[in-house]
Amino acid sequence: MHHKPTRINRLAQVARFLRVARLLLWTIWVIYRERRRVIRAHQRGHYEVQPNIEVLIKVLTAFRETAIKLGVLMIKLGQFLSARADLLPEQALQVLDSLQDEVPPAPFSHVISVIEADLGKPVEQVFSLLERKATAAASLGQVHRATLAGSGEMVAVKVQRPHIEELVNTDLSTIRFVIWVITRFVDTSEFIDLMAVYREFRRTVYEEIDYLTEAANARRFRELFRDQPQIYIPRVYEEYSSKRVLVLEWIDGLKINDYAALEAAGYNRLEIARRTVEAYFFQFFEAGFFHADPHPGNIFVKHGSPPEDPVIAFVDFGMVGTLTKSTKKALRDLFLAFVARDSQALVHALGRLGFLGENANLPAIEQGLELMLTQYYGLTLGEARELDLSDVAQDIEQLLYGQPFQIPAQFAFTGRAISVLAGVATGLAPEFNLIDVATPYARKFLGLSADRLGENLQELLRQMLENGRALLTLPRALERIITRFESGQIEIRLADSSTNGRSRRARNGRSPNGGEGRGGTFSLTFVSLAALAAGVYLLTSVHLFTAGWFCLGLAAVAILGLLLRR
């Protein structure tokens, strides 16, 4: 007869509380202090000021070492922070990146007692074989291979670790207490919304320790990929699953980072990378629901799938991300603001997406975005292919850290998933190009039909008109357009195979020798003719008077710009 697990000793709980509180107070204070110092310096125009990397690395190394000893939630918190480019600079994030969720397994007696308590019958009646050795052990649970007694099917049995709810509740209470103490003495809201970070972390942890939620996630993924035979999602055995026990179909396969075994089996590594990444872009752009933990231990090439047609199997559905319809709409608006090179509209869209706190310094953020627009605006697809994604990621991380941004939960997961995915794909096939695979999905998501925006001006105008913001802010928009025409900042970029994507010459419409190039004049002529034609068509053929007059107004501004150049 197996006894019920005993509760954690009260003295042990107090000792853990003190240890965790001390660790968190120092860690959170240093993170806050350094970010506040950098943001304030940047707001004053001192962009050369950087965080004290040595101090951050020292405190995060200490956090990492203690987290491994304490286990459970501290490891999860370290992993959660490793996705927060708004809280830590890249070099500091790397300290936490190596924090692996691998801990010694719980005793086999605990596994049996949980299964029997939750399923209400002896373990022998459920499994004819249950392997003693865990195939994987993490901070919240562990997995054992088993054979179902009724059907003889091979399954993966995931069981929660001992005292998990008590430990999670204790650690969450400690984190909340530490945040309460800090916010009593310091107003952190402008630089870090600590309570928002806490609430999001708590939500993800509670979802991850509820295996009924994970079972529902697995069923949803299986339905999503029902018509895609190249992707495989294991079946859930609901009759043997509970809040603390999850039974899934066993996946027999090769890990996608076991390169030697993949090549020995004759698999094409580039094709595996392509299928894996396409599955993720399908999740991001079409489903709006994605597997948020794509590390190599969770992705396999299924045994038995032919070398010319590898089947990619996913496991572990505890961490998922979602993109709602309103989020997708705001992302499209963000894209349109980027195309219009309107940093103010970008700030507005970012605010709707939750990137800006209540006390965010909007002029400072707008200034930082203007710098990013100057650097990346106008890239052709060919130039984008040539970009080093790690350089772009570093630029974005520096912007996030150096300005009062905060990353909403779904985007923290999205960013982390894409980052891990890019690493996995590059490891599989160094020649793999993420941009090429992403482009058709992104284009469909945004409702665009051409690779280059210069060739899709009418579609862009239509979307801007539908959104209505262009008309509501017409005076400001026209003022911006006139200013940019006068300075030569507006241009239509034509694809040029001789362009070097890394050179990124000044994108303000001026030629390298300081004078305005012929491209600026051609751009104005093109815009004036296109807008004139669109205005006439909208007024006479489809009777969209507001849109038609807007286009005619744009044509007039373009002609004015041409006259000013003469």
Q: Across-strand partners of 147?
A: 129, 154
Query: How many whole angstroms separate alpha carbon 99 and alpha carbon 320?
Result: 20
DSSP character at residue 453: G
Kindly state the helix (H) or strand (E) to which residue 242 belongs, with its residue range: none
Query: How many whole angstroms separate alpha carbon 335 and alpha carbon 326?
Result: 14
What counts of helices (H) and strands (E) characterise the chain?
A: 23, 11
Quote the tokens at residue 341. 């090179």
Known catalytic residue at 293: yes
Q: Which residues contact 405 (CB under 8 A, 6 or more apart)?
A: 86, 350, 355, 356, 360, 365, 399
Task: Calculate the CA dihedral of residues 181, 179, 11, 1 and round it to 10 degrees.
Answer: 160
Residue 28 contacts residue 138 (beta carbons within 8 Å): no
DSSP character at residue 3: P
In our burial notation (b when 16+ CB lie closer than 10 A, e otherwise), range 276-285 reads bbbbbbbbbb
Quote the tokens at residue 507. 């994108």
Active-site residue, from 293, 316, 333, 342 = 293
User: Residue 208, exposed/middle/buried by CB under 10 A (0-12, 13-18, 19+)?
Assistant: buried
The closest of 151, 304, 282, 294 to 228, measured between CA atoms, is: 282
Query: How many whole angstroms separate alpha carbon 400 and alpha carbon 357?
Result: 13
At residue 503, the 3 state secondary structure works out as coil
Query: How many whole angstroms separate alpha carbon 566 and alpha carbon 564?
Result: 6
DSSP character at residue 248: E
Amino acid identity, position 289: F
Nearest-10 crossing angle of helices 389-402, 10-43:
90
Query: Whole-angstrom distance between the N-terminal and C-terminal Cα of the chain?
Result: 95
- DSSP per residue over 50-96, as a string? ---HHHHHHHHHHHHHHHHHH-THHHHHHHHHTT-TTTS-HHHHHHH
DSSP character at residue 102: -
Residue 88 contacts residue 52 (beta carbons within 8 Å): no
Residue 114 contacts residue 275 (beta carbons within 8 Å): no
Residue 53 contacts residue 91 (beta carbons within 8 Å): yes
- DSSP per residue over 289-330, as a string? EEES---GGGEEEETTS-TTSPPEEE---SSEEE--HHHHHH
Which residue's structure tokens are 């496991």?
Answer: 315
Which residue's structure tokens are 């995915």?
Answer: 421
Query: How many whole angstroms separate alpha carbon 521 and alpha carbon 491?
Result: 8
Residues that are catalytic: 293
